[in-house]
Each structure stands twice: as structure tokens, then as C-alpha cells.
């Protein structure tokens, strides 16, 4: 059998996340169904990681082993012909037998988008969090800078999560854009906890609004208490941009 790597793009609005969940509509489920139609058997498809309900992707990576006579271009064409409009396979590659999209992932890069204006933007409704109040970009940048490095991010993990460790390393935590317009939060690291980025953004927005001081970010990290951090930002503003491999 041949091992394939797929590069995927999807609008997560109408999906119940990435992972198969019985009869619920998921990205993984749509891909498995499309592959079954093409190759005639149920294929085990592994993603680089789960994206939650409503979260988008520009560069999700998946891998699967199966037999087919199709070349990679024909396989991509066949997959996209059998997929719904809100998910597409951007690229198909043949990779080494041992490659596993999840196990071999070394880093992930996410972007969170905010529309900061008193008036809603219909064109951004599915891809950004509408924040009406004025925000201080410099304060948010100072808060984000404190997140870079290796820390225990327990304060920014969704309640009830079960992981072996809440320690993660962020190599990038940046805020860009223009107050009163589009604001982007870019995070890159070796892994992320459940809702971690959305909780980080929610807390940084509170800093931007002036209800928290940027220096509080360090105290929140050290406290390892979810109750000390800010609100959870909506899923619709979050996009998985890319996954890094060795």
C-alpha cells in the first residue's frame, strides 16, 4: 500500500470539528467517505490534530495508507469531486511508509482574526470575532510577548480536559493589524491545549479593552487557574494556518 499525505483547506462553520463523531458532520468523516467511494474500502485517515467545531483550516495535514491506480493529481481531482464545497484537498503527495500526520507534527501555526469596528461586517461573519469596543493594540502586544517561551498554560486550558502535561512552548505570539479594523493574533508552538488559543485571545482582548493590565498575563500563567484568565473567544475567528514537520 502507498502512504499519502493530504493538505486540506476547510471552512469549519458547518462542521462539528475534525474528528469522526458517529453520524455528526465532521471534516474527517467527509474525507473518509470520499476516499471509500474512490478506493472501495474504508480507509483509516489520520489528521495532524483535532480542530474544534467552527474552527477553520488553510493547512491541515492528514495521512492515509491505501491502494489506488490513480496518480496524485487524479486522486486530488477525484477527492474534490466527492467532497462538499466547504472542504477541499489542496495537494496530495506520496510519502515514506512511516509518515504519520499526527505523530510526526513538530509545530502548528494558528491565526485568530478580529473585526474591530462598531458596525458588523457581513463578509467577515464566518471568519472573525466582531469586537465593537475600541482596543489598545500596544497593550495587547505587551501581553502577548509574555506568552512566548516554555510555560505551563493550565490557566488557558478548557475545564475538564485530560492531558499528561499542560506545559507547552510558544515560539510566536504576535498581534498585528489596525485598531478599528482587522486585528490578527498569530500563535505558533509545539502544541496547544483545548481552547488554549481562544482563551488566550479572549484574555488579550480584555487587556486591549483596558479591563486588565498587560502585566497580569504573567500572573495568570503562574497561577495555573482557568478562573483567573479571560473569556473564551468564539471559534469562528480561529484558523489552522500550517503544520510543521521535521
User: Catalytic amino acids?
Assistant: 52
Query: What local confidence, expressed as pLDDT, does residue 240 receive?
Result: 98
Q: Per-residue pLDDT tens for 172-220?
A: 999 999 999 999 999 999 999 999 999 999 999 999 999 999 999 999 9
Which domains, ranges and CATH numbers included, belong to the chain? 2-95 (3.30.70.580), 106-245 (3.30.70.660)
Alpha helices in the chain (DSSP H): 27-39, 72-81, 137-145, 196-209, 216-223
Q: What is the mean pLDDT of residues 65-71?
A: 97
Query: What local confidence, expressed as pLDDT, does residue 159 receive?
Result: 81
pLDDT band at 162 (very low <50, low <70, confident <90, very high): confident
Q: Per-residue pLDDT tens for 97-143?
A: 999 999 999 999 999 999 999 999 999 999 999 999 999 999 999 99
Query: What local confidence, expressed as pLDDT, does residue 64 receive?
Result: 98
Whether pLDDT at 160 is above 80? no
Whether pLDDT at 33 is above 90? yes
Nearest in space to 233 (alpha carbons), one of 115, 57, 86, 108: 115
Say what percent of the chain tops pLDDT 90: 97
What mean pLDDT is reported for the chain?
97
Distance between terminal CA atoms of the chain?
23
Query: What local confidence, expressed as pLDDT, does residue 22 receive?
Result: 87
Q: How many CB atoms lie within 10 A of CB 151?
A: 19
Cα gap 227→230, rounded to integer Å: 8
Q: Characterize the bridge pairing of strands 105-116 and 129-131.
A: parallel
The pTM for the full model equals 0.96
Amino acid at each position: 500500500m502507498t502512504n499519502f499525505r493530504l493538505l486540506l483547506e476547510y471552512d469549519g462553520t458547518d462542521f462539528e470539528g475534525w474528528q469522526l463523531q458517529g453520524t455528526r458532520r465532521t471534516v474527517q468523516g467527509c474525507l473518509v467517505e470520499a476516499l471509500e467511494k474512490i478506493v472501495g474500502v474504508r480507509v483509516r485517515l489520520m489528521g495532524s490534530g483535532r480542530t474544534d467545531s467552527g474552527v477553520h483550516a488553510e493547512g491541515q495535514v492528514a495521512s492515509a495508507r491505501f491502494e489506488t491506480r490513480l496518480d496524485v493529481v487524479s486522486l486530488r481531482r477525484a477527492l474534490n469531486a466527492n467532497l462538499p464545497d466547504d472542504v477541499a484537498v489542496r495537494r496530495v503527495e506520496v510519502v515514506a511508509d512511516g509518515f504519520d500526520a499526527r505523530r510526526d507534527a513538530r509545530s502548528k501555526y494558528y491565526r485568530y482574526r478580529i473585526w474591530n469596528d462598531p458596525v458588523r461586517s457581513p463578509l467577515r461573519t464566518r471568519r472573525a470575532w466582531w469586537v465593537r469596543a475600541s482596543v489598545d493594540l500596544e497593550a495587547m502586544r505587551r501581553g502577548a510577548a509574555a506568552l512566548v517561551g516554555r510555560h505551563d498554560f493550565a490557566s488557558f486550558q478548557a475545564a475538564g480536559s485530560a492531558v499528561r502535561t499542560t506545559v507547552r512552548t510558544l515560539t510566536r505570539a504576535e498581534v498585528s493589524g489596525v485598531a478599528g479594523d482587522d486585528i490578527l493574533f498569530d500563535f505558533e508552538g509545539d502544541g496547544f491545549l483545548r481552547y488554549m488559543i481562544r482563551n488566550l485571545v479572549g484574555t488579550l482582548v480584555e487587556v486591549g479593552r483596558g479591563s486588565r493590565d498587560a502585566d497580569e498575563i504573567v500572573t495568570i500563567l503562574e497561577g495555573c487557574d482557568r478562573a483567573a484568565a479571560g473569556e473564551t473567544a468564539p471559534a469562528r475567528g480561529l484558523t489552522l494556518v500550517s503544520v510543521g514537520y521535521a
